């Protein structure tokens, strides 16, 4: 996707006109349900399990009027200490630190838990927290397998607790405005195809050092430090690029189309990084939807020119949502698009450490640039956490919800089955 400045200006103007709002109003779109002041009943007492890159970033988006972090838990004690130190640096009380989440649940008086641990642990930890009477905000993807997503859903229903999954696009004002004022009214006409792209130039491998020379991760299910720190590269713990990146985007495709895929075919290879990893570094997926609609996804780790975006192609127009910060709308016959650019406002290097966002920030020619429209790109994460807390306190509806997240997970899990089997696979939950 390569748009001229003139095309960008046209597309930006089209989007703002169709969204029916100016930039200040757009920045607040969808946030009305979450009070900016203290929640009635006080901040939700919560803990965070998994204080790695994503977990640290989430900590920084916990507004103290809405959530009070009582404890941190990570199998790497250095991560918990870093997170606790960073919260103190923000002027907040120091949380207690744990390695074992079950011990933490037994000792702490908590209302809710945020889970940002490796994918393969999501189902067991989420179900354990729900069974202990805690509300849960669990990071994406929902679970490593479809059975795990079902266990999570059933535990939430059985224990009557809030369960949200961390797809922050549903809390992004730009996406909300696009859905309500462009997609829902049918501005694009009939949509038969959606193109999802997430291209990067980097290995996805981490170089992090163990917390001590004799650190043994085997009690936590990892044979060595390499498998713990680079868990995303191994099938036992990960579902690869399609889960860590594509699941965000296919959730949006499902939302736009109002349905879920029926079948999937895919190919994936380890093209560039032949370093012992198991998951592909290049993957190409095609999901077939009802009524002859198709969604494609590609993720490569050898070129970042295209950056990442969702392109929704209709008979009357095209909508491009780029890098979670830019919106372009083109009517059929027009000449191309525009940017709503965002510059992240960071204040704490540790807490802004989300691996997926940092890895994507070097998007090269496709990356967003600062402009007078600059806003806080981490705002959707804050809105997501605050909305979760409001749901705990007042019962307001979630904007994503576990059912949507389950269908996104199923689409991605079955895509990997298609890669491994080299055949068309039925998508089911």
pLDDT in tens, 206-235: 999 999 999 999 999 999 999 999 999 999
13 and 48 in a common domain: no
Nearest 10 degrees: Cα torsion 360, 365, 366, 370: 90
In a domain, 244, yes or no: yes
151 and 10 in a common domain: no
110 and 211 in a common domain: no
Tell me what pLDDT residue 340 has: 32
pLDDT band at 354 (very low <50, low <70, confident <90, very high): very low
325 and 340 in a common domain: yes
Tell me what pLDDT residue 127 has: 99
271 and 150 in a common domain: no
Indicate the number of domains in the chain.
2
pLDDT band at 11 (very low <50, low <70, confident <90, very high): very high
273 and 154 in a common domain: no
pLDDT band at 336 (very low <50, low <70, confident <90, very high): very low
Q: What does the mean pLDDT of the chain come to?
A: 89
pLDDT tens figures, 290-300 = 999 999 999 99
pLDDT tens figures, 133-180 = 999 999 999 999 999 999 999 999 999 999 999 999 999 999 999 999
In a domain, 36, yes or no: no
Spatial separation of the C-alpha atoms in residues 337 and 246, rounded to whole Å: 24
Spatial separation of the C-alpha atoms in residues 254 and 145, rounded to whole Å: 19
In a domain, 334, yes or no: yes
Tell me what pLDDT residue 65 has: 94
Q: What is the mean pLDDT of residues 374-393?
A: 89
In a domain, 391, yes or no: no
289 and 223 in a common domain: yes
C-alpha distances (whole Å) from 416 to each of 123, 289, 311, 420 are: 19, 17, 23, 6
pLDDT tens figures, 99-121 = 999 999 999 999 999 999 999 99
With a CB cutoff of 8 Å and minimum separation 6, the contacts of 50 are: 73, 74, 115, 116, 117, 118, 139
Please determine, for residue 91, whether its predicted confidence score (pLDDT) is greater than 90: yes
Taking the chain, what is the end-to-end CA distance rounded to the nearest angstrom?
Answer: 33
pLDDT band at 19 (very low <50, low <70, confident <90, very high): confident
Q: Taking a C-beta distance cutoff of 8 angstroms, is the pair 399, 137 a contact? A: no
Tell me what pLDDT residue 209 has: 95
111 and 9 in a common domain: no
Domain boundary, last residue among 120, 139, 166 = 166
219 and 90 in a common domain: no
Q: Using the 8-state DSSP alphabet, how is residue 65 labeled?
A: T
pLDDT band at 369 (very low <50, low <70, confident <90, very high): very low
In a domain, 206, yes or no: yes
What angle, 0 to 180 degrees and rounded to 10, lies between the N-to-C axes of helices 122-131 and 146-159? 10
- Residue written as token pair 């709002």: 21
pTM comes to 0.90
Give the CATH number, domain containing residue 297: 3.30.360.10
pLDDT band at 372 (very low <50, low <70, confident <90, very high): very low
Is residue 357 left, alpha or beta, with left meaning phi > 0 and alpha meaning psi from -120 to 50?
Answer: alpha
In a domain, 385, yes or no: no
Rg (alpha carbons) of the chain, rounded to whole number? 21
Give the CATH number, domain containing residue 142: 3.40.50.720
160 and 207 in a common domain: no
Q: What is the mean pLDDT of residues 315-340?
A: 82
186 and 308 in a common domain: yes
Q: Taking a C-beta distance cutoff of 8 angstroms, is the pair 330, 11 a contact? A: yes
In a domain, 255, yes or no: yes
pLDDT band at 1 (very low <50, low <70, confident <90, very high): confident
Spatial separation of the C-alpha atoms in residues 8 and 24, rounded to whole Å: 20
192 and 262 in a common domain: yes
Domain boundary, last residue among 114, 138, 166 = 166
Please determine, for residue 30, whether its predicted confidence score (pLDDT) is greater than 80: no
Tell me what pLDDT residue 337 has: 40
Tell me what pLDDT residue 238 has: 98
Tell me what pLDDT residue 2 has: 81
User: Which tokens is 114 given?
Assistant: 């945020």
In a domain, 39, yes or no: no
Domain encompassing residue 118: 44-166
Spatial separation of the C-alpha atoms in residues 242 and 248, rounded to whole Å: 9
Alpha helix locations (H) across 3-135?
A: 5-19, 23-28, 53-59, 77-89, 101-107, 122-131
Please determine, for residue 34, whether its predicted confidence score (pLDDT) is greater than 70: no
């Amino acid at each position: 996707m390569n748009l001229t400045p003139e095309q960008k200006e046209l597309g930006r103007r089209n989007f703002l006109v169709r969204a029916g709002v100016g930039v200040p109003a757009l920045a607040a779109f969808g946030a009305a349900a979450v009070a900016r002041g203290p929640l009635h009943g006080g901040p939700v007492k919560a803990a965070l399990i998994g204080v790695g890159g994503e977990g640290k970033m989430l900590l920084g988006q916990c507004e103290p009027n809405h959530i009070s972090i009582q404890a941190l838990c990570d199998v790497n004690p250095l991560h918990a200490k870093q997170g606790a130190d960073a919260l103190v640096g923000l002027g907040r009380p120091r949380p207690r630190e744990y390695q074992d989440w079950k011990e933490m649940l037994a000792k702490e008086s908590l209302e809710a838990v945020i889970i940002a641990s490796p994918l393969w642990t999501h189902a067991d930890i989420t179900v354990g927290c729900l069974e202990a009477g805690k509300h849960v905000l669990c990071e994406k993807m929902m679970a490593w397998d479809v059975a795990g997503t079902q266990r999570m859903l059933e535990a939430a229903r059985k224990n009557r607790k809030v369960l949200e999954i961390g797809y922050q696009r549903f809390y992004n004002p730009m996406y909300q405005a696009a859905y309500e004022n462009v997609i829902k009214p049918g501005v694009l006409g009939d949509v038969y195809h959606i193109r999802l792209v997430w291209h990067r130039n980097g290995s996805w491998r981490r170089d992090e050092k163990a917390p001590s020379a004799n650190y043994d991760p085997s009690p936590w299910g990892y044979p060595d430090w390499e498998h713990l720190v680079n868990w995303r590269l191994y099938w036992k713990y990960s579902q690869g690029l399609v889960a860590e990146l594509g699941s965000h985007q296919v959730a949006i495709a499902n939302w736009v189309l109002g349905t879920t895929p029926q079948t999937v075919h895919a190919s994936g290879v380890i093209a560039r990084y032949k370093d012992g990893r198991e998951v592909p570094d290049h993957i190409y997926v095609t999901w077939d939807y009802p009524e002859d609609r198709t969604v494609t996804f590609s993720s490569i780790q050898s070129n970042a020119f295209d950056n990442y975006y969702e392109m929704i192609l209709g008979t009357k127009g095209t909508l491009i949502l780029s890098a979670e910060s830019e919106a372009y709308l083109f009517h059929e016959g027009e000449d191309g698009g525009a940017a709503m650019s965002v510059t992240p406002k960071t204040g704490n290097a540790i807490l802004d450490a989300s691996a997926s966002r940092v890895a994507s920030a070097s998007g090269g020619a496709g990356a967003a640039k600062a402009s007078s429209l600059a806003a806080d790109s981490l705002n959707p994460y804050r809105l997501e956490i605050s909305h979760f807390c409001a749901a705990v306190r007042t019962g307001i509806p979630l904007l994503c919800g576990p059912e949507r997240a389950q269908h996104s997970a199923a689409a991605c899990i079955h895509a990997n089955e298609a890669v491994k089997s080299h055949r068309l696979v039925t998508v089911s939950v």
